[in-house]
Amino acid sequence: MEKREKQQDAEREQLAKSKSLAKNKLVVAAIALACAVALVTGGYFTYSAYTANGFLKSVAATGTAQSLFASDLLTGYMSAPGNDELDRAQRSVTVYPNNKQCSFTFSIYNYLLSNSNFCNDKNVTYTLTVEGYGLDGATWSYAPQPAGNVKLPENQPTKNDYTVTFPEDKLGHAYFVIKAMVVSKESPGTELTCLAAKVVPSKKAEVKTAAVEGALVDEAGKFADYAAYNYRVTVTGAPANVTLTWGENVEIDPFFETNHGVTADKTNHTVTFTMEPGSMIVNFYRADGKTPGDWGDLGIRVSGTTLTGTTETQ
């Protein structure tokens, strides 16, 4: 009798071990399945993130993906611009003569000016050239003049300021072509080829009223070649309250609000900001799911008033 009970105990113990082993196998199988799903899903999300980021970088030279190699005066280009392109997008700067000399300053930087925590996490190296025209042999200069390549180091908010000085009597004739050419092999932090602009200095106007004008920079080009659009706003005469409006087919540069300290009404597609005399480029991008057919479908326009409230021009 005792022998039979021991045999039954042994059988129950063996059965318990078998059930435990089967349970462990099920747990291992479940974990393996979960890992496989996670790998597949993770791979999909990684691919989606890559393609989305690649799209952002491909749509425009002046898009958000390039905002961490930028300038307050120069425009970003994916390929070196020709003279015609620079003429269409020329920048006007107001100068204030002093001791028969005029000067203006421009900057090149690798971070968001409104928040230095948003800094390029990769190096960008460029070579700077400044060419003066219409000076008839007069002495002019820019400083500092880099001895060679200039590096904007990764993860270090850096802003380089340069000042161009020329004789007052050359106002109305002088202009400058400025280029910061990217050294591509040393610049993983940008896909741009250069920052560049044709800069035309002008004396501060004596009039008390403001004129506000706007134009699409690339309108002479083939519309189908563009997925982003540069709109130049020009204010002359006096500071003005400028109102930009745009159609449902485009969206304004997402950094515009931060850079100008304003809030856009994205429901009604409008934003108002204060602007000193001069010119600036505002970037627009195709809205999700929209396919405008020509320049007129963008609906971008500008109007302005003086700071005292008198409407001058549109």
Boundary (domain end) residue, out of 201, 229, 247: 201
252 and 193 share one domain = no
Residue 28 in domain: no
158 and 222 both lie in a single domain? no
Indicate if 229 and 258 belong to the same structural domain.
yes
**pLDDT over 60 at 255, yes or no:** yes
User: What is the CA 30 to chain-centroid distance, rounded?
Assistant: 47
Mean of the per-residue pLDDT values of the chain: 78
Residue 22, pLDDT score: 46
Please count the residues of the chain.
314
Q: What is the mean pLDDT of residues 212-232?
A: 84
45 assigned to some structural domain: no
Same domain, 125 and 166: yes
Residue 124 has what pLDDT?
A: 95
Given a cut of 60, whether residue 14 has pLDDT beyond it is: no
For 154-165, the pLDDT digits (tens) are 999 999 999 999
Q: What pLDDT does residue 125 have?
A: 97
Picking from 154, 174, 201, the residue at the C-terminal end of a domain is: 201
The pLDDT score that the predictor gives to residue 116 is: 85
Residue 234 one-letter amino acid? T
Would you say residue 309 lies in a domain? Answer: no
CATH number of domain containing 287: 2.60.40
Q: What is the pTM of this model?
A: 0.50
Cα separation of 40 and 147, whole Å? Answer: 52
Answer whether residue 181 is part of any domain: yes
pLDDT tens digit sequence for 165-190:
999 999 989 999 999 999 999 999 99
Whether 118 and 142 share a structural domain: yes
Burial code (b: 16+ CB inside 10 Å, e: under 16) for 241-277 equals: bbbbbbbebbbbbebbbeebeeebeeeebebbbebeb
Count the Cβ atoms, other than its own, within 10 Å of residue 29: 10
Q: 168 and 233 share a domain? A: no
* Residue 311 included in any domain: no
pLDDT for 34 equals 43
| Domains contained in the chain, number | 2
More confident residue, 195 or 276: 195
Give the domain extent around 176.
Answer: 68-201
pLDDT digits (tens, 9 = 90+) for 25-75: 444 444 444 444 344 334 333 332 322 333 233 233 333 434 589 999 999
Q: Backbone dihedral region of 225: left (phi > 0), alpha (psi from -120 to 50 degrees) or beta?
A: alpha
Regarding whether 292 and 250 lie in a shared domain, the answer is: yes
Supply 6's token pair: 């021991």
Domain boundary among 171, 201, 231: 201
Residue bearing the bigger pLDDT, 155 or 9: 155
Best CA proximity match to 66, nearest among 109, 128, 116: 109
Instruction: Provide the pLDDT confidence category of residue 239 given band limits of 50, 70 and 90.
Output: confident
Q: Which pLDDT belongs to residue 29?
A: 46
- Same structural domain, 139 and 227: no
Q: Are 74 and 186 found together in one domain?
A: yes
What is the model's pLDDT at position 68? 86
Q: Note the pLDDT of residue 206.
A: 53
Q: What is the pLDDT of residues 114-145, one digit of tens each?
A: 888 889 999 999 999 999 999 999 999 999 99
Classify residue 135: in a domain, yes or no: yes
Domain membership of residue 313 (yes or no) is no
**Residue 63: predicted pLDDT:** 38
The listed range with the strongest mean pLDDT (4-13, 101-110, 205-214, 275-284) is 101-110
Residues 190 and 77 both lie in one domain: yes
- The encoded tokens of residue 55 equal 């799209």
Q: In this predicted model, what pLDDT tens digit does every residue of 64-121 receive, in sequence order? A: 434 589 999 999 999 999 999 998 888 989 898 889 999 999 999 999 888 888 899 9
Q: Are residues 221 and 156 in the same domain?
A: no
Query: Percent of the chain at pLDDT above 90?
Result: 46
**Does residue 114 form part of some domain?**
yes
Q: Are residues 85 and 189 in the same domain?
A: yes
